[in-house]
Amino acid sequence: MIIKIFEFVRIAGVTAAFYFGYSIGLSDGYNPVAQLHIMIPIVIFCIAGLSGIEGVFFGRQAAAAKGYEQGSNYQLQSAIALLSYTVISIVVYILEWGIKAELTVFFTFMFFLILSASNHLYQAVANKNYKFANINRPFLTLVLIAGMIYPVIQALKTF
C-alpha cells in the first residue's frame, strides 16, 4: 500500500510542478527560465527524491511491486544516487546558481531516467515483467520528456 501512495504522490507532484511552472512561465509573456526554475527542483524531488526515500526505507516493498529482487545492495545504492540528484537540485535552487546549473542537474537526472526507463522496458519484454510499477516507467518518462522539451528548448535559446 505504501508503494502505491509513493507512486500517486510522485505523479501528483509532477503534475503540480507542471501546473505551477506553466502558470509562472506564462504569467507575463513567456519566461521559460522562470518556468524551469520552479519545475526542475519539484520534478526532481517528486521523482528522484521520493524514489530515493522509498528505496532506502521501503526497498523490499518497492522491489516486490516492480517484480525485482529484494534486498540488493545495488537497490540501496540506486536510492542513494537518486537522493543525491535531489539534494544537488535543491542546493542549486537555494543558492540561485542559475538556469545553466539547473539544466545541468536536470539533464543528468533525465539521462538516468531514460536509461532506467529503458531497463524497465527491457525487463518487461525480456522477462515478461508486466507489473504496473515496472511498465509505467517508460510511458511516464516519455510524457515527462514531452512536457519538458518545449520550455527546455526555449530556455536554451536564451544563452
CA–centroid distance for 152 within its chain: 15
Tens digits of residue pLDDT in 56-81: 999 999 888 877 788 788 889 999 99
In this prediction the pTM is 0.92
Which residues span the domain enclosing 23? 2-156
pLDDT at residue 129, as a whole number: 84
pLDDT at residue 131, as a whole number: 85
Alpha-carbon distance of 51 to 29, in angstroms, equals 35
Query: How far are the Cα atoms of 8, 62, 123, 126 from residue 67, in angstroms, in the given order?
Result: 18, 9, 9, 13
Domain count, the chain: 1
Tens digits of residue pLDDT in 2-52: 999 999 999 999 999 999 999 999 999 999 999 999 999 999 999 999 999
